[in-house]
Amino acid sequence: SRVQSKEQCDDLINQVNLKSVKVADLNVSLQERVLVITALKEQLKGKAVLSKVVSLNPIDPAILQVDTVPLVPKLRKNRTAHIDYLKHPLEEAATLGNL
């Protein structure tokens, strides 16, 4: 009985020691993070921080739309007509992209 209680006490002491080591490790990790955060705050001092993204060149979405004329049904299976049909909107898009 006395030996069991001694062993239980030793086990509890070991558990407490392990927990205190873990707590010490967490405190060191926390201190390192605080130092990093402090350094980053120092770097940001004097710099303007934007809270939202500002578009430098606002573009009207209507300008980017490409008008396509539906292909006549009898030309749908014609390969050259189909390629020409695809080239036309691509050329328009390239022209708009250059603006």
Q: What is the pLDDT of residues 18-59, one digit of tens each?
A: 999 999 999 999 999 999 888 888 888 766 555 666 556 666
Q: How is residue 92 written in tokens?
A: 């328009």
> pTM of the prediction?
0.39
pLDDT at position 87, please?
72
What span, in angstroms and rounded, lies between the C-alpha atoms of 85 and 65?
16
Q: For residue 39, give Cα distances in angstroms to 24, 27, 66, 99.
A: 23, 18, 50, 44
Residue 28 main-chain phi, psi, to 5 deg: -65, -45
pLDDT at position 5, please?
85
- Angle (nearest 5°) at CA 76 between 90 and 72: 90
Q: What is the percentage of the chain residues whose pLDDT exceeds 90?
A: 15
pLDDT-based confidence at 93, cuts 50/70/90? low
DSSP-derived letter for residue 56 is: S
Q: How many residues does the chain have?
A: 99
